[in-house]
Structure 1
């Protein structure tokens, strides 16, 4: 987006999500209006490209499908809690992975006193 600013990218994404949540058609003008109201400067070309990319797509359905992606490690939710379920489950999955990695690294160092190439 404008000079690669992550806040600008987030603002346009959030604007599109707000519009989708309200059932309003996602257009570049509406994205610009929402980002302007949030005091975030967005170049019109980026708003236009985002609106074009989302044209004719059900943004809510896309979010629910993200939660059902096999690589996410999070089971798909049937109802409206897709994004919220992913957000709630992600820290648990990361904590579990970190704990498993710590256990594995502890097992590697048990009582040997030297490494593989020593």
Structure 2
């Protein structure tokens, strides 16, 4: 990441931490106050438009929560007494389908080293 991008990111984080609106003018004024040179104004406007209407603090707190929710829920339901046996069978069937798909590619003569 370049110095301009880092300075703009940090300025946006400062504004978000203070609970202020993230705008290009405010980002630029923080960058100038910090004494960072060679930051083009386009960076401030890009960051301001990208973060417009978004809760930056919430985004930072929930960085890793998007992808891990489904597997954790599936694993947690297996321990329950009602339906704990259905989950392993479904995963075995999915694995078999994936294996069959790989084998069918080889049967057709499409291989990596052919």
From the CA coordinates, give the structure whose radius of gyration is larger. Answer: 2
1:1-40 to 2 correspondence within 5 Å?
A: 6-40=2-36
Residue 53 (structure 2) pairs with residue 53 (structure 1): no
Which segment is superposed worse, 62-71 or 14-23? 62-71
- Per-residue displacement from partner, 1:6-64 (whole Å, max 9, x unpaired)? 22211100100000000000000000000111111321111001100000000001101
Aligned-pair Cα RMSD in Å? 1.9
CA distance in 2 between counterparts of 1:43 and 1:7 reads 11
Bigger relative CO (Cα 8 Å, ≥ 6 apart): 2
User: How many pairs were matched up?
Assistant: 68
Give the drift of 1:69: 4.7
CA distance in 2 between counterparts of 1:50 and 1:35 reads 13
> Unaligned stretches of 5+ in structure 2?
69-114
> Unaligned stretches of 5+ in structure 1?
72-118
Q: Which runs of 4+ in 1 moved over 3 A?
A: none
